[in-house]
Structure formats: structure tokens, C-alpha cells
């Protein structure tokens, strides 16, 4: 009933929509959406959206840029970037953007994607740092978000044991300041559902607080960041905080886009460093990035035989809702310091990394033989070296990392443009079981890059403008035991995808993915043996535009899960999206209605969901029922935008939704979100 009403309301609103201003965000939204389809399920796109929004206003000058900056445009491949610089070197500065078409590897799609974010004009902005300029020419961006699950979950009841101590409301406050390419600053507060809002225990005054001040391009100092920042170098094997791309339908995504030191403005409570860092040009083509970080982590502690605190695990969720989560909050101090040396020319880049990580409490291996080679103690030193080299139509890349007194890891690969229509990626990796590193996001099958060997090969074929084919295969081996895998194991993954885009208003995609891994048998036996676990997904999708106002998208996805000799189980998802986004209207909005039916959590399906700007959701479709959501955007004033979202899961034949403290009585779970952005 509620759903029907919602549809009605949505249509009414759409019907009344008036014509107003153009929508600058639509372009970015479309781009992000097409990129999101080809990303791993857990990638945080808000940062990317931030960046693209920034470049939309302050386009990159292609005649005066560097590889580091261009790598932040994730749809550019390293080979394209290298070819661009090669072209400029040979032919002089670009005079017209049409010239891009003559650069090898720049296909029409890439150019179309690139154009909104680049320029050839020297910025006329006078970008000296003065108080007057900072005030008059700076961009301010203020964002406030509120969200809440409407049903009351078990954790908010007055339970005798563990319960959520705060309110179910979620708040985000973010302020960002930016002046040309010289100064940036940010301040972020966040409260998750179940946390105290104001002045709770260990809160001053909000649960999560993050901020930074950064200066760029001041003499030899290319970057200076005080506050929260991330470090992303090489192939993410030695030093990389924050998210990194991994295996994805875009086969080139295994090549990491290292952008070095970056201010941190996201609300993720784990993936950053806190302190000070700078990138200094010490010689021509040589940069040095020293950094220091001091921060507190959420660790669950226990006492060892000597009565001292030891770390049993680190909690990365940033949730501080229950008594024990609050007790673990900030319980361990982490100090990281070190430096990165980089040498860069158009074709060649070399890097050397060394840093030291220490904690005030010691790590212990914990129970379970599979943890036998995990990091123990309080101190760790990591060193590493990375390279990339462009030779003709080939881009070679790699990194080697070593944790002192422990293991070694290396990864090497090549991205080769075989012809105008075919490119290939190969990647070999070998991460030892005792490779210890707290800032390791290298390409791997497992969530962390250690105890793994593997070989990945992918092909990207674009036989014509309308057709695009992606294929990759990855074989991996885990030489040591893993969680729920009591023996060395191996597996493989295969993906094939065909996209047909005959014109701008129609796109069809077929995707097949298959993954085989091994896991302990479910049977009760004296010694666990391994069973093959096979997960296959089939996807068919069409997206089409009815007219300038309405767009539709349909998807059918089928998942199959089979473990050992047991029968295969199936899950499927079907959805219909309706998108309303006229070029000239204060209103825009979209709507999804999905039906899903999965036999169990094993055959669950993920799908990207539209959300309020800067918030990204990969919906989890598990069980049986209907999922629906509606997003609305309304331009209140020239610089003031409002977003609203309502989303609902309606399960069939269940008495409760969710588990443990998140359990909700009934068959529905609904959530609202409101967001206001003011740019001034």
C-alpha cells in the first residue's frame, strides 16, 4: 500500500515539474553509473564523484598537467595518458581538442568522457594566495545529510545485554573549501545509526571528525597536507590507503592509478592517515614525499599471560553503537612515518618507499592455524619499489614490497594495445603468506593481498563503435590455510561481457561470471576436506531512453551457487528503473522496482543503486521479496539543492528482517534520506 502511494506521489511530482536550469550533475551521474557497473561491489565512488564535480568547475588544462592528475580520471588508461604526453612532446601543445582523435588509443568514447573535464586554455584565474582571493574566489561546498531506518530494530530496545546506546538517526555534515589549484580544506562530522549524537563517551563532540588543510604548488612544495590524508603509490602493494580498483569488467582496472598524496574528505572512518605530509620537488623529475601520521584505531583487546593488553583484531567499520564497540573505540594508537621517492619522466616512472608502523599494544596471532603467519608485535617496517614504463604500445608496471623480518611480495604486469580495437592486460602476482603490511591494497582475489599467487589475463575488444567485449580469466593459489579453508587451496575466476550500444539512447549488456574456490566441507567429518564452491552469475540488461525526459533500464540477473556434491541453488533479480531527468527542470528523479528471489545468502545478488549525490549504494538482494526506491532532486535555488530518497525492502513470508541487534519485527525495512547542498 505504502509502495503504491509512493509511486503515485512520485509521478505526481514528476508531472508538475517545471522547466528551470540545466543539470550539471547529470553528466557526472551518468558517467559514474557506467563506471560503477564495471567496478567491484565495494568500491567507494563518492570520492570519484567529488573529484569529477571539481574538475567540471575547474577543468584540467591538458597542456599543463601531469600523469598524477590525469590518473584521477579513472576512465583514462595509463597507456592513453602516456600517449597524450608523447603527442604533446612531439607535436607541441594541443591547439584544439579535436587533436585528441589523432592520438593513439583515444577512441570516441574516451574523448566524449574526457571533454567535460578538460580544457586547453590557461586558467585566467589569478591564483595567488591572498586573503582577498581566498575569500572572493574560493569555492565553498556545504553538505548536510540525514538518514534513518524507519522501523525500530531490536538493538534500540532496552535489552539487558548488548544494545545500541544512541539513536537510529544518521547524520553527515561536510564542509569543503577550495581555491583554484592552490588551497583546499574540509571538515567532516558523522554519526552512524546507533551512535551517540553529541558528547557521548569518547566523543568530542561528534563520533567521527575529520578535516584537513592543504596547500598546492607553492614553490618546490607541490603538496602540503595537514590533517587527514591518503597515500597511494605504485601498484598498492607497499603503501596505499583508501580504496583501490581490483578485478572488474573493465579489464584495465587491475592497473592501479597511483595519485600519491591526497587530502582526505570522505566519511569512511578507517581508510586514512592523520598528521602531516608533503610532496617536495627535490630535483628535476624527482619528488620526495615524507609523511607522519598519528591516530587511534578501534581494536578489541585482551590480556596476555603477562597481564598486558594485546590486540586480537582491528575493527574497520567505524561503528560505535554498543558498549563493547565504544570500549574498543580508539583503544590503540598507531604511529606511521616514512617517505616516498619518485622519479618521473613521460615514459618511465620509478618509486622507492620506506616507512615504519608502530602500535602501543602488541598484535598476537590469535587462535586458528590459518593465522599462524599473521603479524605479531608492535613494530613493523615496510620497504618497496615500483616502476612503470611505456614502450611503444605497451605499458609495463610492477611493484615489489618487503616487510622487514617477514615476507616479500611482488606484482608485475603489462597493458598492451594489440591493435586499434584490441587491448590486453596480463598481471602476475606472488604475495607470501607472511607479507605484513597495514597499507596494502594490491590486486588480489582475497580481500587482503598476502598468501596468494596468481595470474590474470584480460582482453578488451571493441570491434566497432557499437560493440564492446571484455573478457578476463584469473587463476589463483593460496599456499597457506585461510579462514574456513583448512588446507592450501586454489581457484579461478572468469568473466565475459558484451555491450551493444548502437546509438546514444540504447544500450544492451550481457554478462557471465564464474568463480570457483575451495572451502571446508559442510559435512561433519573428523578432518575437514575441501569442497569446490562454484558461483556463477548471468546478467542481461537494457537501458533505453524514451525521449528527452524519460529513460528506462531493465535487468535480469541469475546467480547459481554450488558447493561440493550438494545440489545447486539459484537466485534471481529482476528490476525496472525509471529515470526522469529533463535538461531544464528543477526536478529530476528516479525509481526502481525490483523483484528478487534467492535460495539463501549464498546465491545473493548485488546491484548498484541510485542514491543521493555523493552517497553510493550497492544493494544487497537476498531472500524473497520486492525492493523499491525513489530518489528526487530539487533545485531550491541557484546554489541550493535538495535530495530525498525513500527505499524499501518488502520480504515475503518472513516474520523478522535482519539479524541480531539489527533484527526488525515484520517483513519490511524502509529507509529515508534527506540531503541539502549549498555551494557558495
Partner 1 sequence: MRRILLVFFCLTFIVHTVSAQYNQGARLTAMGNSSAAVKDIWSLNANPSGITDQKSPIAALNYAKYLFGDDLSEQSFAFVLPFNGNFAGFSINRYGISEFNEIKAGMALAKKFGEALSIAVKANVHQLKITNYGASTTFTVDVGANYELNKQLAFGVYVNNPSAQKYKASNVAAHIPSAVHLGATYSPSNKIIIATTITKDFDQKFDVGMGIDYKFYELLSLRGGITAKPFKQYFGIGLNYQKFMLDIAVESHPQIGYTPQIGLSYAF
Binding site for partner 1 (CB under 8 A): 416, 418-422, 424, 426, 455, 457, 459, 461, 463, 471, 473, 475, 490, 492, 494, 514, 516
Q: How far is the CB of 133 from partner 1 (least distance, A)?
A: 52
Nearer to partner 1, 125 or 418 (CB): 418
Nearer to partner 1, 9 or 566 (CB): 566
Task: List Cβ neighbours of 669 (8 Å cut-off, separation of 6 or more).
Answer: 149, 151, 648, 649, 657, 658
Q: How far is the CB of 113 from partner 1 (least distance, A)?
A: 22
Q: How far is the CB of 461 from partner 1 (least distance, A)?
A: 7
Q: By the 8 A CB rule, do 489 and 516 touch?
A: no
Q: How far is the CB of 387 from partner 1 (least distance, A)?
A: 21
Q: What's the CA angle centered on 280, arms 278 and 285, to 5 degrees?
A: 140
Q: How far is the CB of 274 from partner 1 (least distance, A)?
A: 43
Nearer to partner 1, 301 or 461 (CB): 461
Nearer to partner 1, 369 or 418 (CB): 418
Q: How far is the CB of 87 from partner 1 (least distance, A)?
A: 21
Q: How far is the CB of 106 from partner 1 (least distance, A)?
A: 17
Q: By the 8 A CB rule, do 292 and 275 touch?
A: yes
* 630 conformational bin, left if phi > 0, alpha if psi -120 to 50, beta if neither: beta
Nearer to partner 1, 177 or 455 (CB): 455
Nearer to partner 1, 205 or 463 (CB): 463
Dihedrals phi, psi of 66, to nearest 5 degrees: -140, 170
Beta-strand (E) ranges in 219-285? 221-232, 260-263, 273-283
Task: List Cβ neighbours of 383 (8 Å cut-off, separation of 6 or more).
Answer: 238, 352, 353, 354, 401, 402, 404
Q: How far is the CB of 463 from partner 1 (least distance, A)?
A: 7
Q: How far is the CB of 548 from partner 1 (least distance, A)?
A: 36
Q: How far is the CB of 494 from partner 1 (least distance, A)?
A: 7
Q: By the 8 A CB rule, do 679 and 54 touch?
A: no
Task: List Cβ neighbours of 631 (8 Å cut-off, separation of 6 or more).
Answer: 589, 590, 591, 610, 611, 612, 643, 644, 645
Q: How far is the CB of 457 from partner 1 (least distance, A)?
A: 6
C-alpha cell at 96: 584544439
Segment 164-167 long-range contacts (CB within 8 Å, at least 24 positions apart): 164/193, 164/194, 164/321, 164/322, 164/661, 165/194, 165/195, 165/196, 165/200, 165/321, 165/322, 165/323, 165/326, 166/191, 166/193, 166/194, 166/195, 166/196, 166/197, 166/200, 166/321, 167/193, 167/194, 167/197
Beta-strand (E) ranges in 51-196? 60-61, 118-119, 139-149, 169-179, 183-191
Nearer to partner 1, 228 or 493 (CB): 493
Start-to-end C-alpha separation, the chain: 41
Beta-strand (E) ranges in 44-109? 60-61
Nearer to partner 1, 426 or 674 (CB): 426
Q: Which of 243, 298, 238, 233 is nearest to 268 (CA)?
A: 243
Nearer to partner 1, 368 or 463 (CB): 463
Nearer to partner 1, 455 or 618 (CB): 455
Q: How far is the CB of 611 from partner 1 (least distance, A)?
A: 36
Nearer to partner 1, 401 or 491 (CB): 491
Nearer to partner 1, 387 or 467 (CB): 467
Q: How far is the CB of 475 from partner 1 (least distance, A)?
A: 6
Residue 109 is classified by DSSP as: H
Distance CA 602, CA 564 (A): 14
Residue 196 is classified by DSSP as: -
Nearer to partner 1, 282 or 420 (CB): 420
The alpha carbon of 619 is separated from its chain's Cα centroid by a whole number of angstroms, namely 15
Nearer to partner 1, 116 or 473 (CB): 473
Helix residue ranges, H only, 210-344: 323-328
Q: By the 8 A CB rule, do 650 and 667 touch?
A: yes
Q: How far is the CB of 496 from partner 1 (least distance, A)?
A: 9
Number of C-beta neighbours around residue 468 at 10 A: 21
Cα dihedral 193, 199, 203, 208 sign: positive
Q: What is the dihedral of CA 112, 116, 122, 124, to 10 degrees?
A: 160
Q: By the 8 A CB rule, do 644 and 145 touch?
A: no
Distance CA 521, CA 529 (A): 6
Longest dimension (CA), the chain: 76
Amino acid at each position: 500500500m505504502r509502495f503504491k502511494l509512493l509511486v503515485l506521489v512520485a509521478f505526481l511530482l514528476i508531472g508538475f515539474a517545471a522547466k528551470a536550469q540545466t543539470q550539471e550533475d547529470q553528466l557526472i551521474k551518468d558517467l559514474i553509473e557506467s563506471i560503477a557497473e564495471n567496478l567491484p561491489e565495494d568500491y567507494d565512488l563518492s570520492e570519484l564523484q567529488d573529484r569529477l564535480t571539481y574538475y567540471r568547475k575547474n577543468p584540467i588544462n591538458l597542456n599543463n598537467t601531469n600523469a598524477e592528475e590525469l590518473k584521477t580520471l579513472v576512465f583514462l588508461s595509463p597507456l592513453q595518458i602516456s600517449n597524450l604526453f608523447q603527442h604533446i612532446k612531439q607535436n607541441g601543445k594541443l591547439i584544439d581538442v579535436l587533436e585528441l582523435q589523432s592520438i593513439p588509443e583515444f577512441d570516441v568514447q574516451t574523448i566524449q568522457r574526457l571533454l567535460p573535464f578538460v580544457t586547453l586554455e590557461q586558467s585566467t584565474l589569478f591564483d595567488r594566495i591572498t586573503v582577498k582571493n581566498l575569500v572572493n574566489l574560493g569555492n565553498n561546498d556545504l553538505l548536510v545529510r540525514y538518514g534513518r531506518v524507519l522501523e525500530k530494530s531490536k538493538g534500540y530496545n532496552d535489552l539487558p545485554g548488548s544494545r545500541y546506546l544512541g539513536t537510529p538517526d544518521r547524520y553527515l555534515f561536510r564542509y569543503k573549501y577550495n581555491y583554484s589549484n592552490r588551497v583546499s580544506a574540509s571538515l567532516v562530522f558523522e554519526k552512524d545509526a546507533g551512535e551517540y549524537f553529541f558528547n557521548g563517551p569518547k566523543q568530542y563532540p561528534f563520533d567521527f571528525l575529520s578535516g584537513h588543510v592543504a596547500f598546492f604548488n607553492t614553490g618546490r612544495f607541490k603538496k602540503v597536507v595537514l590533517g587527514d590524508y591518503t597515500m597511494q603509490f605504485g601498484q598498492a602493494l607497499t603503501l596505499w590507503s583508501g580504496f583501490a580498483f581490483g578485478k572488474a569488467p573493465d579489464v584495465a582496472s587491475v592497473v592501479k592509478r597511483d595519485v600519491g598524496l591526497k587530502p582526505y574528505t570522505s566519511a569512511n572512518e578507517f581508510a586514512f592517515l592523520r598528521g602531516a605530509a608533503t610532496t617536495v620537488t627535490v630535483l628535476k623529475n624527482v619528488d620526495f614525499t615524507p609523511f607522519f601520521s598519528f591516530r587511534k584505531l578501534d581494536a578489541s583487546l585482551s590480556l596476555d599471560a603477562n597481564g598486558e593488553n594485546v590486540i586480537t583484531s582491528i575493527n574497520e567499520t567505524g561503528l560505535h553503537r554498543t558498549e563493547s564497540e565504544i570500549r574498543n573505540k580508539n583503544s590503540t594508537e598507531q604511529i606511521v612515518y616514512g617517505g616516498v621517492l619518485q622519479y618521473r619522466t613521460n615514459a618511465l616512472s620509478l618509486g622507492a618507499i620506506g616507512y615504519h608502523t608502530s602500535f602501543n599494544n602488541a598484535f598476537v596471532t590469535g587462535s586458528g592455524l590459518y593465522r599462524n603467519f599473521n603479524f605479531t608485535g608492535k613494530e613493523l617496517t615496510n620497504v618497496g619499489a615500483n616502476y612503470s614504463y611505456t614502450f611503444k604500445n605497451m605499458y609495463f608496471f610492477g611493484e615489489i614490497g618487503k616487510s622487514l623480518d617477514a615476507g616479500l611480495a611482488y606484482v608485475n604486469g603489462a597493458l598492451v594495445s594489440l591493435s586499434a580495437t584490441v587491448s590486453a592486460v596480463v598481471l602476475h602476482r606472488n604475495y607470501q603468506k607472511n607479507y605484513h603490511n597495514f597499507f596494502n591494497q594490491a590486486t588480489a582475489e582475497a580481500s587482503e593481498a598476502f598468501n596468494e599467487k596468481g595470474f590474470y589475463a584480460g582482453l578488451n575488444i571493441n570491434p566497432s563503435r557499437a560493440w564492446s567485449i571484455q573478457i578476463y580469466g584469473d587463476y589463483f593459489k593460496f599456499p597457506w590455510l585461510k579462514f574456513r579453508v583448512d588446507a592450501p587451496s586454489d581457484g579461478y575466476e572468469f568473466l565475459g561481457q558484451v555491450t551493444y550500444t548502437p546509438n546514444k539512447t540504447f544500450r544492451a549488456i550481457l554478462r557471465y561470471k564464474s568463480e570457483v574456490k575451495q572451502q571446508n566441507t559442510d559435512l561433519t567429518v573428523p578432518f575437514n576436506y575441501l569442497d569446490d564452491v562454484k558461483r556463477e552469475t548471468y546478467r542481461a540488461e537494457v537501458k533505453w531512453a524514451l525521449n528527452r525526459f524519460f529513460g528506462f533500464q531493465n535487468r535480469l540477473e541469475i546467480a547459481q551457487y554450488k558447493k561440493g556434491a550438494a545440489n545447486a541453488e539459484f537466485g534471481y533479480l529482476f528490476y525496472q528503473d525509471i529515470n526522469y531527468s529533463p535538461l531544464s527542470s528543477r526536478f529530476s528523479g528516479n525509481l526502481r522496482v525490483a523483484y528478487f528471489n534467492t535460495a539463501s545468502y549464498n546465491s545473493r545478488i548485488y546491484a548498484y543503486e541510485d542514491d543521493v549525490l555523493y552517497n553510493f549504494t550497492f544493494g544487497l538482494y537476498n531472500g524473497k521479496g520486492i525492493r523499491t526506491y525513489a530518489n528526487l532532486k530539487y533545485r531550491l535555488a541557484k546554489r541550493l539543492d535538495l535530495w530525498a530518497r525513500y527505499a524499501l525492502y518488502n520480504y515475503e513470508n518472513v516474520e523478522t528482517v535482519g539479524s541480531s541487534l539489527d533484527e526488525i519485527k515484520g517483513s519490511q525495512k524502509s529507509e529515508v534520506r534527506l540531503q541539502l547542498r549549498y555551494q557558495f
